[in-house]
Structures are given as C-alpha cells and as structure tokens.
Amino acid sequence: MRAYVLLCITFSSVFNFIEGLGREINLEDQITWFFVSFVALIIGARLFAGSLFDRGYGIKLIYISSLTGFLGLAILMSVDSIGF
C-alpha cells in the first residue's frame, strides 16, 4: 500500500508539470491525448502483466519491461522535434 501511495505522489507531480508545460507552449489538445493514451496503456499492461505474473513468469516480465523501456528510450533519443 505504501508503494502505491508513493507511486501516486510521484505521478501526480509529473502530470501537473506536463499539464502546465502543455498549456504554456499551446499543446493542450496533445497533452489530453497523452493522458488518455497513458491510462489506456497502463490498464492494458496491468491486465497483461498481472496474468503473466500470477502464472510465475515474473522474470520474463522483467526482461520484457527492460527491452520495452530500452526501445522507448532509443526512439525518444532519435527524435529531433515533436513536429508542431
């Protein structure tokens, strides 16, 4: 329970920053889609990862998560601008 509260506190500060930043640089519509897609992906990941973890595939989940995070950072590193 304490980890959940800590996660909510850290996400709330990041989300408040992103929302203010989007308002500052006039990207309010895109920021809304960021939040919608973030929530959809979190729900999907929780359903998918929860069932795999319950079956005993915890180590494989760590490998998949690490690979996905690495690919996401590599894509982010290769982007020059946001295209607006």
Chain segment 5-63, per-residue pLDDT in tens: 877 787 777 778 878 887 888 877 777 787 788 888 888 888 888 888 889 888 998 99
3 Cα distance to chain centroid = 17
With bands split at pLDDT 50, 70 and 90, how would you rate the model's confidence at 67?
very high
Q: Which two tokens stand for residue 27?
A: 């990207």
Asked whether residue 31 is domain-assigned, the answer is yes
pLDDT at 84: 55
**Which of 21, 30, 33 is closest to 83 using CA atoms?**
30
What pTM did the predictor assign?
0.54
Asked whether residue 84 is domain-assigned, the answer is no
Asked whether residue 29 is domain-assigned, the answer is yes
Asked whether residue 18 is domain-assigned, the answer is yes
Asked whether residue 60 is domain-assigned, the answer is yes
Q: What is the number of domains present in the chain?
A: 1
Does residue 70 surpass a pLDDT of 90?
yes
Q: Which domain holds residue 49?
A: 2-78
